[in-house]
Amino acid sequence: MDRKTLVDLDLQGKRVLMRVDFNVPLSRAGDITDDTRIKLALPSIEYILDNGASLVLMSHLDRPGGEKIPSMSLKVVAYRLGELTDHPVKFVEDCIGDSVEEKISNLESGEMLLLENLRFYKEEEDNNPLFAKQLSRWGDVYVNDAFGTAHRAHASTEAVPLNFERRVAGFLLEKELTVLGEILDNPVSPFVAVLGGAKVSSKIRLVSNLIDRVDRIIIGGGMAFTFLKSAGLEIGDSLVDEQFLPVCKELMDKDRKAREKKIFLPVDCIIAREINEDSEMKLVSTGDIPEGWIGVDIGEKSIDLFSKELDKARTVLWNGPMGVFELENFATGTNEIARKIAEITGSGAKTIVGGGDSVSALNGIHLSEKIFHISTGGGASLKFLEGGKLPAVDVLEKKDN
């Protein structure tokens, strides 16, 4: 990674303004259902406070659209953060204004203050420079440790750091960029990408960027049916991105002409009349899906085919489920691939999993801790792996050459 980090700062007596990603999932009752993002921010938080600085944390939560919605308050996050650290955690019910200034004026070294949800102001997503100027008053130096928002040019991620002479990456952001950069630039072969999810539209650039870098691309989930249809197969009423059929056909034609096959698609699948727990289901070959039926999961032969390819892998990138895994009767394929990826991690493979659905699937069967690296940023990791720019990273200080 070519950006400066926390270790490049003299923190003694400084007040650090740090962007974190505390956009945690909440239950209907307002309880945090997964505190992973809070825990992953702790190394940077502890380092800053242990080195004589005070800390002002800023984040968003959900999509309030510029309105102050009580159910989207970060107060619950402040409480959980206080349970996870020995350092005092304060909270203020705004992110700009007199109430914030008063709290910050009383902040001492070793203490932290969490600001209220940035997206309670529409100016955050608008990347408003005046809003950014107000936020910038709360720190002497700026740190970004929110990889999950690195692909967004928002006030707290792009405009705010430009108001600081010292602006660096936190440890989580550094780790994400280092791990993802290594699998793009210097992966241990064989390198296998496992891509799933609903639509081709969200992954086609990734497929195009990876096709010459990987040894295999395994494609499952709803996006597989666009590839299958482009090859002339019958997919019934399965999900298809019509506008991407030509691109998929071009990739498939190129793969057929190549000396060694790279793209692996499901050879069988579970189909259903409807996407619900009570729907009629059956197993068919992927080219034999009748009208009125929908592909909802990969079948046993596909699981076996994909698993054999994964057994050979030394580097694996997984982004996207193999089916409608949210429903238990359609989750077998996703869960089996998750188990296989965890298994080969234990055998020494470097495995990287990104995307909320893939991580949720791992969490659901308690395998997250068996993966080499869980990426916290679905959209950001996709953008990076596609070869795109990350505005929040581009504004940080570069390392001296």
CATH number reported for the structural domain that contains residue 109 in this entry: 3.40.50.1260
- The pLDDT assigned to 33 comes to 86
From residue 337, how far is each of 271, 331, 350, 391 by CA, in Å?
18, 10, 15, 33
- Residues 159 and 11 reside in one and the same domain: yes
Label residue 401 by pLDDT band (50, 70, 90): low
- The pLDDT assigned to 59 comes to 98
Asked whether the beta carbons of 376 and 177 are under 8 A apart, the reply is no
Which residue, 368, 296, 369, 373, is CA-closest to 334?
Answer: 296
Residue with tokens 């869980």: 374
Is residue 394 situated within a structural domain? no
How many residues in the chain?
401
- The pLDDT assigned to 378 comes to 77
What is the arithmetic mean of pLDDT over 51-68? 97
Catalytic residue among 110, 181, 236, 356: 356
**Residue after which a domain boundary falls, among 103, 136, 171:** 171
Is residue 12 situated within a structural domain? yes
Pull the structure tokens for residue 285. 């070959």
- Residues 296 and 248 reside in one and the same domain: yes
Asked whether the beta carbons of 252 and 230 are under 8 A apart, the reply is yes
Query: Into how many domains does the chain fold?
Result: 2
d(CA 317, CA 315): 7
Catalytic residue among 199, 249, 301, 370: 199
Give percent of the chain with pLDDT exceeding 90.
83
**Burial category of 292 from C-beta neighbours within 10 Å (exposed 0-12, middle 13-18, buried 19 and up):** exposed
- Residues 187 and 297 reside in one and the same domain: yes
Angle subtended at Cα 356 by Cα 185 and Cα 363, rounded to the nearest 5 degrees: 105
- Residues 235 and 366 reside in one and the same domain: yes
- Residues 166 and 201 reside in one and the same domain: no
Q: How many CB atoms lie within 10 A of CB 3?
A: 19
**What amino acid occupies position 374?**
I
Q: Give 135-174 as a 3 state SS string.
A: HHCCCCEEEECCHHHCCCCCHHHHHCHHHCCCEEECHHHH
Is residue 312 situated within a structural domain? yes
d(CA 153, CA 126): 8
Is residue 395 situated within a structural domain? no
d(CA 183, CA 164): 32
The yes-or-no answer on residue 197 being catalytic is no
Residue with tokens 């089916």: 323
Pull the structure tokens for residue 92. 């203020």
Pull the structure tokens for residue 155. 């006030």
pLDDT per position as a tens digit, 21-46: 999 989 989 999 888 899 999 999 99
From residue 334, how far is each of 190, 337, 362, 365, 366 by CA, in Å?
22, 5, 9, 11, 13
- Residues 374 and 230 reside in one and the same domain: yes
- Residues 293 and 211 reside in one and the same domain: yes
pLDDT per position as a tens digit, 161-174: 999 999 999 999 99
- The pLDDT assigned to 107 comes to 95
Catalytic residue among 15, 37, 103, 383: 37
Is residue 397 situated within a structural domain? no
Q: Which range is least confidently modeled, 59-73, 195-209, 287-301?
A: 195-209
Is residue 392 situated within a structural domain? no
**Residue after which a domain boundary falls, among 171, 196, 220:** 171
- Residues 79 and 227 reside in one and the same domain: no
Rounded to an integer, what is the distance from CA 195 to the centroid of its chain? Answer: 14
Is residue 270 situated within a structural domain? yes
- The pLDDT assigned to 281 comes to 94
Q: Give 203-238 as a 3 state SS string.
A: CHHHHHHHCCCCCEEEECCCCHHHHHHHCCCEECCC
**What amino acid occupies position 265?**
L
Residue 335 has pLDDT above 80, yes or no: yes
Pull the structure tokens for residue 216. 């295999």
The yes-or-no answer on residue 221 being catalytic is no
Instruction: Please list, in sequence order, all residues whose beta carbon lies within 8 angstroms of the beta carbon of residue 278, skipping any fewer than 6 positions away.
Output: none
**Residue after which a domain boundary falls, among 171, 193, 220:** 171
- Residues 87 and 154 reside in one and the same domain: yes
The yes-or-no answer on residue 199 being catalytic is yes
- Residues 283 and 349 reside in one and the same domain: yes
- Residues 84 and 220 reside in one and the same domain: no
Is residue 398 situated within a structural domain? no
Which residue, 170, 247, 162, 134, is CA-closest to 16?
Answer: 170
Pairing of strands 268-272, 281-285: antiparallel
Residue 114 has pLDDT above 80, yes or no: yes
What is the arithmetic mean of pLDDT over 279-295? 94
Mean pLDDT of the chain: 94
Angle subtended at Cα 388 by Cα 131 and Cα 58, rounded to the nearest 5 degrees: 30
Domain that holds residue 299: 178-385
- Residues 109 and 207 reside in one and the same domain: no
